[in-house]
Amino acid sequence: MARRPGLKLDLHVHTVYSYDGFLTPRELVSTARRIGLDGVAITDHDSVEAHRRIRQDKGIVIIPGIEVSSAGGHILGLNVSCDIPPGLSAEETIERIHDAGGIAIASHPNSPFFFWKDSFMGKRIARLKFDAVEVVNSAIFPFYALTRLNRRLARALNLPTTGGSDSHFASTVGRAYTIVEAHSSDIDDLIQAILSNKSTAFGLPRTVVERTRAAMYRMFLV
């Protein structure tokens, strides 16, 4: 698939303000700049604390966001600057994201194995008021089969698509990303472009070594 012109954004990244993150916000911005990203969405688990501690960086767009642990699964909220409590129903979580001025995205949907309890399945997504589907996520497995499935799901539901690395370490930032065709790098313009289906997701899976390291860290954190 040929890359479309636009801004290259990793729309799913965690920092130390996620219980399982190992990047400071400053390290994340530095990494994004070094690898050629135009911006990132910081989407820590159930917290926007990172956004209270970092300023917009010249040359790198920093989109406020959150990954909420709803009762039904993980939900990304982009352009959200307030905490949303975990454990709410999916319906209420999405409503709160919208009330905060954000858009709600189904995180790593249809994922078996490690993500099964945190992922929405296709039929469930169709019944909820999601604004987009994360169709490329570097952490999912099996990566290529699920990416194809999620692209088909988004097409069937006529929903925009996004991609993000779901990175908790510097080495995987930007492994998956979204090209957004917006009028400017203004966050409102970027969000509107996604809602207008002017976004395309790309990416590659984590390596075996990266998956093993992430799994080992999680074992110690649980």
Percent of the chain with pLDDT over 70: 89
**Size of the chain, expressed as the number of residues it contains:** 222
Q: What is the pLDDT of residues 163-197, one digit of tens each?
A: 999 999 999 999 999 999 999 999 999 999 999 99
HSE-CB for 42 with a 13 A CA cutoff: 31
Q: What is the pLDDT of residues 124-176, one digit of tens each?
A: 899 999 999 999 999 999 999 999 999 999 999 999 999 999 999 999 999 99
Burial label, 117 (beta-carbon count in 10 A; 0-12, 13-18, 19+): exposed
What's the CA gap between 155 and 134, in Å, rounded?
12
For 59-98, give one letter per residue: b (16+ CB within 10 A) or e.
ebbbbbbbbbbbebbbbbbbbbeeebeeebebeebbebbe
Q: What is the CATH number assigned to the segment(s) 7-221?
A: 3.20.20.140
Q: How sure is the predictor about 123, in pLDDT bands with cuts at 50, 70 and 90?
A: confident
What's the CA gap between 3 and 141, in Å, rounded?
24
Domain boundaries, the chain: 7-221
Q: Are 122 and 109 in contact (CB under 8 A)?
A: yes
Q: What pTM was computed for the model?
A: 0.91
Q: What is the radius of gyration, based on Cα positions, of the chain?
A: 16
- Please give the helix or strand (H or E) that residue 133 lies within, else none: strand 132-137
